[in-house]
Chains A and B, each alone.
Chain A
Amino acid sequence: MMKRLSKLVLIITSLLLFLSLSACGSKPLSEQNVLENAKADKTITWGVKADTKLIGLIDVKDGQEKGFEIDLAKAITQQMLGKKAKAKFVTVTSQSRIPLLKNGNIDAIIATMTITPERKETIDFSKSYFDAGQSILVKKGSSVKNVQDLNGKTIIGVVGSNSVQNVKKFAPKAQVLQLPDYAQALTALKSGQGDALTTDNVILAGMAVNNPGYELTGKPFTTEPYGIGINKGQKEFQTAINQALDELIKNGTYNKLIKKWFGDVPGFDYKGVLRND
């Protein structure tokens, strides 16, 4: 009896210890000024995608991140902190990006993240830097022509992306499978675990480039304005990023990057996302 009791006490105390540890670690971060830190060491740490072609992809040959968001993050960093400034990249997934921002591992998220009211309760966003729209990718010759055709079928999505919640509105009778990342979601589609893969059209377009047997179908059924995610309480950092973004649009760097990455992607109309101020 005593033995059992002392065991119980041990379990409870260790649980409490864990709780108190997780509670006290986060305090000092919210009092730091991200912009001042960035200016001091001339570095901004960005959370980026590593599995999304055209957007953010780690090139296995040289281990470098490559993509539109990577180039944009570099451009913003240099616009903000000068030519010598360095953009540091940390790989995130749809699921890990907000927790990593909250615990201070990264300064900002530039990882195909749509600005949504729910997310705005947790973090702040820059102005939108890209206008994507949710669409579906299917095997060529599939009977699925648009999102409504997916009722009663199985759709594959990625955990933590808002596309899995959106798609339920357009195809309420569909079953949704959430997989950990896009590479795996695409493999699951190829294995026949689902009838379509849903996420934003730019991401799907990147997949279609590498997988000629698959195509985007139907028109995008939502608008997904991507924003740069920033911790709450970092107004100065947010303003600085917005200014840098405006400058890049004004001096044409933004459109150059759009053309570089999306200029000749089949099934994607790059002219629709060019910005002119």
Chain B
Amino acid sequence: MIKLLTDNWSAFLSGFGWTILSSILALFFSLVIGSLVAILEVLPNKFARIVGNVYVEIFRNIPLLVITMFFYLVIPLYVVKINGFTAGTIGLTIYTSAFIAETVRAGINSVDIGQMEAARSQGMTFWQAMRYIVLPQAFKLVIPPLGNQFVNLVKNSSVLAFVAGFDLMYQANAVASQTFDTVNTYLVVGIFYLVITLPISYYMQYLERKLA
């Protein structure tokens, strides 16, 4: 196992790097898009609510692989050429943002309606009340489920392997098929994923304790 690791160190390391990069990008953008969609879903405007709802229901209910394949194989045919890494990261972002939207929406809904009413009665606009009163409380409530989504996102980034995105899983497939040492290769890769996901889990637990 040690020999496997030293022989293929550069492959594993570059895969690790691409996985982290993809995860960070997808995490950032899915958090932004997810929060925006969540707000759409709680707006007084009925049309906005429908738009938010349709977004969530479509992307939450299509397999991640299908979304990714669509960006890798179909979009380049008709729109613009995108490589595997980008296609995978876009797929990951859209898919995860649907789940984050649902999580954040649940958070917003569980903040007492009186908070919004009180803020509005003090002369705040809807957006001000959202920004300063409701969202801070909502995010605090949804830290545990958000942590779950982040961990899932990192693991789901293995979808990049199917579109030649050079991530950990892609490198693992290549190494396994060259060395024929399947068991150890996937064990090593499992440990690499733990190196990313365990700190996220612990940080989320820490945040939960600190803010609760």
Bound Cα distance A19, B191 (Å): 13
Q: Is A94 an interface residue (CB 8 A)?
A: yes
Taking a contact as CB atoms under 8 Å apart, the answer to whether B177 and A180 are in contact is no
Bound-state CA distance A118–B177 (Å) is: 11
User: Within the assembled complex, what's the spacing in Å between the Cα atoms of A53 and B76?
Assistant: 26
Q: What are 17 A-B pairs at a CB distance below 8 A?
A: A95-B173, A95-B176, A99-B180, A118-B178, A121-B180, A122-B180, A156-B164, A160-B176, A177-B164, A179-B163, A188-B72, A190-B73, A190-B77, A191-B74, A191-B76, A193-B73, A193-B84
CB of A98 within 8 A of CB of B180, answer yes
- Our pick among A122, A160, A184, A192 for the contact of B173 (Cβ within 8 Å) is A160
Segment 142-199 of B: residues with Cβ below 8 Å from A? 161-164, 170, 173-174, 176-178, 180, 182-183, 187
Q: How many A-B residue pairs have CB under 8 A?
A: 56
A6 within 8 A of B: no
- Report Cα–Cα, A247/B104, bound state, in Å: 70
Interface residues of A in 74-120 (CB under 8 A from B): 94-95, 98-99, 118-119
> How many A residues face the partner with a CB closer than 8 A?
25
Contact surface of B with A, Cβ cutoff 8 Å: 72-74, 76-77, 81, 83-84, 161-164, 170, 173-174, 176-178, 180, 182-183, 187
Are the C-beta atoms of A191 and B178 separated by less than 8 Å? no
A143: CB under 8 A from chain B? no
Query: Does A276 interact with chain B (Cβ within 8 Å)?
Result: no
| B77: chain A residues within 8 A (beta carbon) | 190-192
A160 in contact with B177 (CB, 8 Å): yes
A187: interface (CB < 8 Å): yes
* Main DSSP-derived SS at the B contact region: helix
> Could you say which of B73, B161, B180 contacts A187, with CB atoms under 8 Å apart?
B73
Cβ of A251 under 8 Å from chain B:
no
CB-based contact A179/B164 at 8 Å? yes
- Determine if A119 and B177 form an interchain contact, defined as CB atoms under 8 angstroms apart: no
Q: Are B164 and A191 in contact (CB under 8 A)?
A: no
Contact A180 B162 (CB under 8 A): yes
Asked whether, in the complex, the Cβ of A188 is within 8 Å of the Cβ of B73, the reply is yes
* Interface presence of A33 (CB below 8 A): no
Q: Given B81, B161, B170, which contacts A192 in the complex, CB threshold below 8 Å?
A: B81
Interface contact B180-A191, CB-CB below 8 Å: no
**Nearest Cβ distance between residue B170 and chain A, in whole angstroms?**
7
